Chain A
């Protein structure tokens, strides 16, 4: 809990917070959806993630509130992507990767050996830097790729599910007439929205986005940023971005990580409401970074 005191969101003891409470500033949420679908709170406690024994990010404690967009910012090499990948256990998929500390999803440690990592990855979805539609699948099959897992094929057509997911990803109008076309034929921005639709179709509680716009043109970027604000109504979003304007535009909460020099792990410097991080940061490093003095 090295930086726990500096984190205004972490003022409560995480273990005491079994019942996630809606933060007062959270956007209005459809009651029915919320009841059915309430995302759990995510608490990171003393997390250190390493590759081959070398920590990439160390001693991070923070809380990610439901129905909020949390942005992770910081200079390259500060471990923000690694931290993101720790939030759904993807970090451990890499060879020689280890984790210490806890990530509590609704109070349950996702690294507890009794917890099934597959279940966690279904509850916490992820979108990557480069769009990765499965090239041999049609648009429709791409959307259903995660949904079909574990279901016998042909059981229900899932037409409505495809439509919903594509609508939520803002792609429905563009592709409704060519659902059978291969997903690789779309433009970069459309592919990325297809990947978002694919992730949303599984109905995750939390969606992790690892620099989702860095490979896209400015217009596609804007479309996806608007999308993120809508997605928030049904699920929590955590986004890694190297683009500070983007963080300011889309996020409710901003987390700043920094690394002093190459070879030492990145650390959490400051976390708080986006407004505060950009306008009244409490740490010198945060101010230097957000004002563009380095990074």
Chain B
């Protein structure tokens, strides 16, 4: 999950001299090279496809507008860029933030339960159940979100829409009406989808807390929660951050469930989390195969490029943090 630690990797085999050996070696080297090539090619092809729109409108114009109106686009004319993507960036960040706010504390709690609280014989089944959450396909979460989750969230949404009226920041964030499909609904489903990932990494991190330190805490007369706060959580701090960042990476790129639950409002930023919006993946999923306006498809590749950059940065960061904690602890 967190890369191959140097000491666990097998000794590099000497390259054999026989023909079979050379053939095998070049075979697996080629396979390894494919991995590198795939990543490079993804970047290159997306940039190539995004290039027409970027060079026509200028790179800054995409990030300075929150209005995405393909029907305004006119070919071969220097008109203002109708493809603003700020609202998608905003939607992606807001839904991911909602997901993280819900998922991270719950994941920490679930991971602690599995590693330190649950009776020994419940630990394996519990982690298997949580892992099952990751196995359920995105599209199933989407349809479940529409028909089961949104009706269940409605009472809370309606309450929040009126409860914070007049309060400066909260009033705007929760201004009504609750539209059902919304940032909030998408964020909640994202939280459920991210939860098993964050839990799995947290579980591994918590499991590395040395038994001796836990016993020391108990020997000082600590209760179980005091032991967790003393011997498990402090040393896991950066691991938890890494796990959260990895979860965030997953949340940013999640497509179908969000597409089904966010409402596809591409024309502006909706301030309220109870309102409809769009994310970078959702606009690609919704418009890609029907992009028929000038620079429409190319602009979608601009969105894909931004999403790719964001995902790569966030994931690289998360992996580095998790990897480094792994080394420090071991």
Contacts and interface: CB of A to CB of B under 8 A. Distances in A.
A96 B120 contact: yes
Interface residues of A, number: 27
Interface string A78-96: 0000000000101001011
B212 interface: yes
A149 B215 CA distance: 15
A96 B218 CA distance: 17
B235 A135 contact: yes
A136 B220 contact: no
Given A132-B212, A134-B231, A145 B218 contact: no
A125 B221 CA distance: 8
Contacts of B215: 90, 93, 126, 128, 132
B222 interface: yes
B216 interface: yes
Nearest to B120: A95
A128 B212 contact: yes
B307 to A, nearest CB: 36
A90 B219 contact: yes
Contacts of A136: 234-235, 237
B217 interface: yes
B186 to A, nearest CB: 37
Interface string A105-136: 00000000000001101100111101010111
B226 interface: yes
A198 interface: yes
Nearest to A125: B219
Given A96-B120, A134-B213, A121 B234 contact: no
A121 B120 contact: no
Contacts of A127: 219
Interface of A: 88, 90, 93, 95-96, 118-119, 121-122, 125-128, 130, 132, 134-137, 145-146, 149-150, 195, 198-199, 202
Interface of B: 120, 210, 212-213, 215-223, 226, 230-231, 234-235, 237
Given A130-B212, A149-B220, 9 more contacts: A90-B219, A118-B223, A121-B219, A128-B219, A132-B213, A134-B231, A136-B237, A146-B222, A149-B222
